[in-house]
């Protein structure tokens, strides 16, 4: 394997796996032995990591860990109660330390190009900016998701200077805050890669249509990159939302595409889009089904890795991989077993049946 890495791009070259990542625009492409061949997984390491550096959902087994900082500033309120995918709520919070983050990166293969940070409030982690700077120093594009609350002009400026992309989670309660945040980041400070994240569920279909209309008429959103829909997964069994049906999904995507809205979706709902696109090869090229353990990996704030955030503590992932202490972990027996399982079911999620109400 050969890696070419500079401030502008990262290129990985090998016989069976090749990739190109533009750090400034976010453009990414991968191919196998030929440009037409898709590799089934990257044998050398992950392309992207999802790292939850802050959490309010603190497991007793990890308490008193020297890898984290505990604070009394948690994540509460209607945003958390109704819209957090993992119900990551509580009066207290726990945060990965900068030292833990450094140790994890020391054990990560050099194929890594991006990190998506999971945070609580934008100012809840006492070392968040140090963590972002550490990733940048190692040539990694640092991205994060926020609900927009608390993003002042000063913070917006720092995000635009330090992050490759920022996603704003938008719902009916924080819509105006989210719209103002997009305006700050894109128009006041010139950031290009800003997306909306919206939970995709039966109950949010009308809201997604409402936001799509606003994107076309609200000047604050003129530089928004895309509206990204994230399939609802009821890990906490709240029954607050329900999965959207295939028929309603197809109608919604038709509405968005005919309206000229740039859209995206998470890999959990990729098979829904594949069903929608069917014989449209151009659209199908945009689909990336579940890539967990194939091209990506999730790490919690204590430094334990899992196939994805929803598999943390579930089934064969009841115990994670200690990525602070473990080197050469990407092809260990646990990940190989998972990889075989996922590929055998055409990269459909073994945990959730997306699109079946």
User: Where does the pLDDT of residue 221 fall: very low under 50, low under 70, confident under 90, or very high at 90 and above?
Assistant: very high
Domains and CATH numbers, the chain: 1-39 (no CATH), 45-344 (3.20.20.70)
- The model's pTM is 0.92
- Model confidence at 61: pLDDT above 50: no
What is the mean predicted confidence (pLDDT) over 289-293?
95
User: Where does the pLDDT of residue 350 fall: very low under 50, low under 70, confident under 90, or very high at 90 and above?
Assistant: confident
- Model confidence at 177: pLDDT above 60: yes
What is the mean predicted confidence (pLDDT) over 186-198?
96
- Model confidence at 253: pLDDT above 80: yes
Higher-pLDDT residue of 170 and 282 is: 170
What lies within 8 Å, CB to CB, of 118 at 6+ separation is: 50, 51, 52, 53, 54, 55, 144, 145, 309
**Lowest mean pLDDT: which of 118-122, 126-130, 186-190?**
118-122
Q: Please calculate the CA angle 72-74-78 and round it to the nearest 5 degrees.
A: 145
Looking only at the bridges linking them, the beta strands covering 18-22 and 194-200 are unpaired
Cβ(60)–Cβ(52) below 8 Å:
no
Place of tokens 């000063």: 154
Taking the C-alpha atoms of residue 82 and residue 90, their distance in angstroms, rounded to an integer, is 13
pLDDT for 286: 81
Report how far apart, in Å, the C-alpha atoms of 57 and of each of 3, 70, 119 are. 38, 12, 12
Among 286, 85, 261, 74, CA closest to 169 = 85
pLDDT for 56: 83
What is the mean predicted confidence (pLDDT) over 172-182?
96
For 37-63, the DSSP string reads: PPPSS-SS--SEEEEE-EES---GGGT
User: Positive or negative, the Cα torsion across 207, 204, 250, 339?
Assistant: positive
Read off the pLDDT of residues 19-46 as tens digits, 9 standing for 90 and up. Answer: 999 998 899 999 999 998 999 999 999 9
Neighbour count for residue 239 (Cβ, 10 Å): 7
Percent of the chain with pLDDT over 90: 73
What is the mean predicted confidence (pLDDT) over 3-9?
94
Taking the C-alpha atoms of residue 290 and residue 273, their distance in angstroms, rounded to an integer, is 13
- Model confidence at 85: pLDDT above 60: no
- Model confidence at 237: pLDDT above 80: no
Structure tokens at 87: 């119900």
User: Where does the pLDDT of residue 150 fall: very low under 50, low under 70, confident under 90, or very high at 90 and above?
Assistant: very high
| Length, in residues, of the chain | 357
Distance of CA 77 to the CA centre of its chain: 23
User: Positive or negative, the Cα torsion across 223, 199, 294, 32?
Assistant: negative
Cβ(174)–Cβ(82) below 8 Å:
no
Structure tokens at 357: 């109400």
Taking the C-alpha atoms of residue 194 and residue 167, their distance in angstroms, rounded to an integer, is 6
What lies within 8 Å, CB to CB, of 74 at 6+ separation is: 56, 89, 90, 91, 92, 93, 120
- Model confidence at 83: pLDDT above 60: no
What is the mean predicted confidence (pLDDT) over 44-54?
97
**Lowest mean pLDDT: which of 68-77, 300-309, 341-350?**
68-77
What lies within 8 Å, CB to CB, of 306 at 6+ separation is: 297, 298, 299, 300, 312, 313, 317, 320, 321
pLDDT for 239: 60
Q: Please calculate the CA angle 139-144-282 and round it to the nearest 5 degrees.
A: 85
**Lowest mean pLDDT: which of 76-90, 98-112, 169-183?**
76-90
Taking the C-alpha atoms of residue 201 and residue 223, their distance in angstroms, rounded to an integer, is 26
Mean pLDDT value across the chain: 90
Read off the pLDDT of residues 154-167 as tens digits, 9 standing for 90 and up. Answer: 999 999 999 999 99
């Amino acid at each position: 394997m050969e890696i070419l890495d500079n401030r502008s791009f990262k290129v990985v070259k090998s016989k069976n796996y090749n990739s190109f990542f533009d750090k400034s625009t976010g453009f990414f492409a991968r191919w196998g032995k030929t440009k037409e061949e898709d590799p089934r997984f990257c044998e050398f390491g992950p392309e992207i990591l999802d790292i939850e550096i802050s959490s309010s959902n603190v497991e007793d087994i990890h308490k008193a860990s020297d890898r984290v900082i505990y604070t009394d500033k948690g994540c509460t309120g209607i945003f958390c109660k109704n819209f957090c995918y993992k119900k990551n709520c509580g009066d207290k919070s726990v945060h990965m330390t900068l030292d833990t983050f450094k140790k994890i990166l020391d054990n990560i293969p050099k194929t890594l190009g991006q990190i998506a940070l999971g945070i609580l409030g934008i100012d809840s982690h006492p070392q968040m900016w140090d963590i972002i700077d550490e990733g940048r120093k190692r040539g990694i594009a640092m991205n994060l998701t926020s609900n927009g609350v608390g993003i002042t002009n000063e913070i917006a400026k720092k995000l635009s200077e330090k992050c490759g992309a920022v996603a704003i989670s938008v719902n009916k309660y924080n819509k105006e805050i989210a719209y103002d945040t997009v305006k700050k980041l894109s128009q006041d400070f010139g950031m290009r890669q800003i997306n909306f994240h919206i939970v995709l569920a039966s109950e949010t279909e009308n809201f997604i249509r409402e936001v799509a209309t606003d994107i076309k008429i609200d000047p604050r959103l003129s530089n928004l990159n895309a509206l990204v829909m994230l399939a609802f997964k009821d890990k906490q069994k709240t029954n607050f939302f329900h999965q959207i049906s295939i028929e309603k999904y197809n109608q919604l995507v038709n509405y968005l595409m005919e309206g000229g809205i740039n859209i995206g979706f998470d890999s959990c709902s990729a098979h829904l889009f594949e069903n929608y696109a069917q014989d449209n090869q151009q659209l199908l090229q945009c689909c990336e089904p579940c890539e967990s353990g194939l091209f990506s990996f999730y790490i919690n704030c204590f430094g334990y890795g899992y196939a994805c955030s929803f598999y943390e503590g579930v089934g064969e992932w009841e115990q994670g991989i200690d990525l602070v202490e473990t080197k050469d972990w990407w092809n260990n027996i646990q990940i190989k077993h998972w990889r075989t399982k996922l590929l055998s079911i055409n990269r459909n999620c073994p945990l959730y049946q997306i699109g079946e109400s």
